[in-house]
Amino acid sequence: MKLEKSPSSASLTNGDAADKPSTYHSWLHSRGVWFSYIVGVYGMHLFLLSLPFFSVSTVWTLTTVVHSVVTYFFFHHVKGSIWADSQGSERYQTQWEQIDNGEQFTSTRKLLTLVPVLLFFLASFYTKYGYYHFLINCAALLLGVVPKLPMFHGFRLFGINKY
């Protein structure tokens, strides 16, 4: 370790923190979190419905898109720990990769993967299987599901967001 000369914060290298698996996501298992999540999505949907200038089909498509983009940002873009200083290996891991310490197909992961698919079914139904709605919903579905698949664990497209 060496002190940095430039007037920037002296940063510690990874050395002092043991590479322990992250425990910051255990709250996803706690009681009522799944229910709250579904209620939250439904609440967002109701809010969009209450806006006067959108038709029902537009609102359903909007719901899938907003849901996918927001969950993508929080699960697959934000890295490290949200609550405390990140010092361990989780500094380079997205939130999704840290859930259940990287174990695949756990119940939490299954639920979070299912929600965008079910939203797609609902949106398809309520948009009367229209062609353009299908395209947009399909894109939102892929954004919501593909990064969650095990083969994309630790995958960084073109090294973007790697560090």
Partner 1 sequence: MADAIMKFGVEPWNFAELVEAFKQAPLYHLAFEVILVVFIIRLIFSKSYSIESTVKLTEAEREQLVQEWEPEPLVPPVDPNHPALHYKVITKQGNNKLVVDGKEGINVGTFNFLGMLGRKETEDAAIQTMRKYGVGTCGPRGFFGTMDVHLNFEEKMAKHMGVEEAILYSYGFSTIASAIPAYAKKGDLVFCDEGVSFAIQMGLLASRSKLKFFKHNNMADLERLLQEQAVEDKKNPKKAKVMRKFIVVEGLYVNHGTIVDVEKLIELKYKYKVRVFMDESMSFFVLGKTGRGVTEHAGVDITDIDLISVSMEAALGTMGGFCLGTRYVVDHQRLSGLGYCFSASLPPMLASAASMAVDITQKETDIFQKLRSNNEFIHVQLSGLPGYRLDGDPISPIKHLRLEETSGDWQKDQAFLEKIVVRALDEGVVLTVARYLEEEEAFLPPPSIRIAVNVTLTEDQLTKITSVIRILAAAVLREKSEGE
Q: How far apart are CA 34 and CA 90, in angstroms?
A: 24
Per CB under 8 A, 138 contacts partner 1 = yes
User: Nearest approach, Cβ of 108 to partner 1 (angstroms)?
Assistant: 10
Closest residue by Cα to residue 145 from 108, 117, 124: 117
Cβ neighbours for 148, distance < 8 A, ≥ 6 positions apart = 75, 96, 109, 112, 113
User: Nearest approach, Cβ of 43 to partner 1 (angstroms)?
Assistant: 16
Residue 130 · residue 57 · CB < 8 Å? yes
Give the number of residues in contact with partner 1, rule: CB under 8 A.
Answer: 41
String of contacts with partner 1 for each residue 40-79, x by CB under 8 A: ---------x--x-xxx-----------------------
For 128-143, b/e burial (b = at least 16 CB within 10 A) is eeeeebeebbeebbeb
Cβ neighbours for 1, distance < 8 A, ≥ 6 positions apart = 12, 13, 15
Per CB under 8 A, 156 contacts partner 1 = no
Per CB under 8 A, 29 contacts partner 1 = no
Q: How far apart are CA 3 and CA 10, in angstroms?
A: 6
Region of 10-18, 22-30, 34-42, 62-70 interacting with partner 1 (CB under 8 A): 10-18
Among 69, 70, 114, 142, binds partner 1 (CB under 8 A): 114
User: Nearest approach, Cβ of 163 to partner 1 (angstroms)?
Assistant: 19
Given the rule CB under 8 A, which residues bind partner 1?
1-5, 7-12, 49, 52, 54-56, 85, 100-106, 110, 113-114, 117, 120-121, 124-126, 128-129, 131, 134, 138, 150, 153-154
